[in-house]
Chains A and B, each alone.
Chain A
């Protein structure tokens, strides 16, 4: 199997190299058959990489520890569900995942556009296959996932316990799907610039890929935030960590892109801006992959390795230099066909929204790379924390929410006073009402939050108003009942109304972020059993008793769990029980580890206990004090090491098992103190709800209309235009 895996990857590399060569030769010589052959190379690449990826997954499922990557990232005690995910927790597996997703996206877009953009396509193929050459080259020459060990170990090291979370199964593939899908509009933009065909055709042809990239990247970011909130034990969902930021950067510029391309489609404007945005987004997607995989910046994502820095830096430099060259040498072709008629127009709002999003991205970029910049300038690595980000991000977020409302309600070209009055009277009143309500509920002292709640009320009302007006218009045209009119409206205008749903979701998300950031109450408390602490909003927590257990998988200890049973009280009355835990995973697959310490010195993870609610979450995590226990463990290590070889193997193993069992069972009886993080966070649930609404809207926008639906939607117009043709 390793031989076959390596051979498939080598074939994939050769196929990608051929794809680049054949596409460029076909374009330069005008011999289309070579372009078709290059496109078929993309299909073949998808097949080869799919087979290689399947082989790797099979190796993980079968615990083939002769493969180094399987040994170092999985074990027989890793549940099968997580063994699948273990593949992309490794450097090699994640690069293979990138290549696999890229090959699928490339094959799909090249199939869908096989009869279109014939002049642009060869260069788009060359760019997509160029990316494939880069990643296949890394997998063949630098970090092979099919590297074998000289001796096959009996057990693997195991998956990093932090990654044993359902969100982590999907988080990396979603992020990578987003990154690779951005490569599609990037490649077509490069092709369009090379042949100077810079109308909106390449945008229309790749629009769904851009929307899908936005959607997948967004879902990936959300899953990461959810994982952080429920797994990392610090209680937050966003820490401005470099790797989090790396995924946010292309999402922000990509969001700007999917808005501003509408201006190019409608008015033939912002061509230079759009080309620059998608080239930047594609480059930032590669930068994001680089930051995760290179470990160049310190991050909570400690599961990274070095060694890939220079290849990635070279690729990023080539992309940057090529982008700048193409945009500057195509200035004439990129000239706008129209001018901005009025500042009170939708194109002006889109431009403002773009500027804010790019400023947002710049702040994140500066904050992310400041440690490297400061080290280069002063020799000392300095980091910028959340307060620095808040200083810039909060005002930008306020303007963004305002523009989320203003944009959809203002017409293209120019708005009349009457239209503005009609569009904004009700939403402005809703905004004022939301602000007053927030002030009455206690937000009066937090000016930024108060402003955000008011603007969210305004923007949310605009989105709802758009639906109401659309349904009314639909009913006037067809006489449909309101629910049917709603469904027809969305189905026939997926992009527009899907977009409004996204806006609604984003507004809800911002409300959740503002409320949970400004009004969160956090208490770090050291408590003994029987003690009670007030944690805010009328809640208090009583530490009833410590808990302990051993989780067994197969014949071995999966983890030892120490925790706490807490009683949650609201205004003195019991409202529930919480059981936060901390799991200690044994060190596996390594020699020279002390026999008892092996069970306590491995990775440890927090299992958060929460009482989630629509209005507030009560969140708890525990850090048991195991210092006393560890003294006994060290003493036990000495005795077992002395007994090794003297006792029969079976008796030694049984005694060790009994010792571990005894230590774990005795833990609650000794009633040790524990340190708790206790939090009351308002409206966190609305972050997840808002995200789901936004992604539902994104899905509606990206979902292709069936041929029949499209024909129905355009039949009337087609007939009208055909009549015009008859008269012409």
Chain B
């Protein structure tokens, strides 16, 4: 095997080991990571509810939903969004 190829292979191996072993070398931040994951999921859910609220309003304004239906749907979606915001507040991530 070409010595340069051996050297480059060793370098690639070392880099790979360094990259994949990172989390195994220092696992102290586990709780923070778990919290961040929970907050990220809730924020994604919040964005989804906002999108739904916006979609419902667009349906109403383009004549696809009656005002009565829209208000009912909007109320329901807002209640869900409020619940998500409350959970975010509890986790200390309540920026609005």
Contacts and interface: CB of A to CB of B under 8 A. Distances in A.
B33 interface: yes
Given A419-B63, A728-B86, A722 B12 contact: no
Contacts of B62: 466, 469-470, 472-473
A8 B9 contact: yes
A446 B5 CA distance: 66
Nearest to B13: A11
A602 interface: no
B91 interface: no
Given A4-B9, A713-B54, A725-B82, A476 B47 contact: no
Contact of A37 (B5, B24, B63): B24
B58 A493 contact: yes
A469 B34 CA distance: 45
A560 B90 CA distance: 77
Interface in B46-80: 47-55, 58-59, 61-66, 69, 78-79
Interface stretch (A110-118, A220-228, A529-537, A677-685): A110-118
Contact of A44 (B19, B55, B65): B19
Given A11-B16, A416-B66, A721-B82, A33 B30 contact: yes
A426 interface: no
Contacts of B50: 714, 717-718, 721
B54 A714 contact: yes
Given A40-B19, A44-B20, A265 B48 contact: yes
A201 B45 CA distance: 8
Contacts of A343: none
A411 interface: yes
A402 interface: no
Contacts of B45: 201
A469 B61 CA distance: 8
Nearest to B39: A115
A469 B60 CA distance: 11
Interface in A447-472: 466, 469-470, 472
A115 B5 contact: no
Contacts, number: 151
Interface in B5-34: 5-6, 8-9, 12-13, 15-16, 19-24, 27, 30, 33-34
Q: Most B CB atoms within 10 A — which of A411, A473, A492, A724? A: A411
Given A40-B22, A493-B58, A496-B58, A419 B64 contact: yes
A28 interface: no
Given A43-B19, A116-B44, A410 B64 contact: yes
Nearest to B18: A44
A4 B40 CA distance: 41
A18 interface: yes
B21 A116 contact: no
B8 A710 contact: no
Nearest to A265: B48
Interface centre among A11, A37, A40, A717 (most CB of B within 10 A): A717
Nearest to B60: A473
Contacts of B48: 200, 204, 265
Interface in A14-72: 15, 18, 22, 32-34, 36-38, 40-41, 43-44, 47-48, 51
B78 A40 contact: no
Given A116-B40, A201-B45, A44 B16 contact: yes
B58 A470 contact: yes
B63 A469 contact: yes
A720 B78 contact: yes
A717 B53 contact: yes
Nearest to B70: A411
Given A11-B16, A43-B19, A722-B96, A473 B58 contact: yes
A422 B22 contact: no
A650 interface: no
B11 to A, nearest CB: 10
Contact of A36 (B9, B23, B44, B79): B23
Contact of B5 (A3, A423, A724): A3
Given A714-B50, A721-B85, A117 B16 contact: no
Interface in A700-726: 710, 713-714, 717-722, 724-725
B60 to A, nearest CB: 9
Residue among A7, A18, A22, A205 with the highest chain B CB neighbour number at 10 A: A7
A611 interface: no
Contact of A411 (B27, B65, B96): B65
B44 A40 contact: no
Given A11-B16, A266-B52, A116 B27 contact: no
A18 B9 contact: no
B82 A728 contact: yes
Contacts of B2: 1, 3-4
B16 A15 contact: yes
A679 B44 CA distance: 55
Interface string A667-696: 000000000000000000000000000000
A496 B9 contact: no
A725 B44 contact: no
A299 to B, nearest CB: 38
A41 B65 CA distance: 49
B19, B21, B69: most-surrounded residue (chain A CB, <10 A) = B19
Given A411-B64, A724-B82, A8 B12 contact: yes
Given A721-B82, A725-B82, A11 B12 contact: yes
Given A3-B2, A32-B34, A40-B23, A714 B47 contact: yes
B59 A411 contact: yes
A266 B64 CA distance: 15
A413 interface: yes
A358 to B, nearest CB: 26
A5 B16 CA distance: 16
8 contacts: A3-B1, A4-B8, A7-B9, A37-B20, A37-B24, A411-B69, A412-B59, A493-B58
Interface of A: 1, 3-4, 7-8, 11, 15, 18, 22, 32-34, 36-38, 40-41, 43-44, 47-48, 51, 115-118, 200-201, 204-205, 265-266, 409-413, 415-416, 419, 422-423, 466, 469-470, 472-473, 476-477, 492-493, 496, 710, 713-714, 717-722, 724-725, 728
Given A40-B19, A265-B48, A721-B85, 4 more contacts: A33-B24, A41-B20, A47-B19, A411-B64
Interface of B: 1-2, 4-6, 8-9, 12-13, 15-16, 19-24, 27, 30, 33-34, 36-41, 44-45, 47-55, 58-59, 61-66, 69, 78-79, 81-82, 85-86, 89, 96
List the 9 closest pairs (A to B, CB-CB), nearest first. Answer: A473-B61, A36-B23, A115-B40, A411-B64, A3-B5, A714-B50, A7-B9, A469-B62, A4-B5
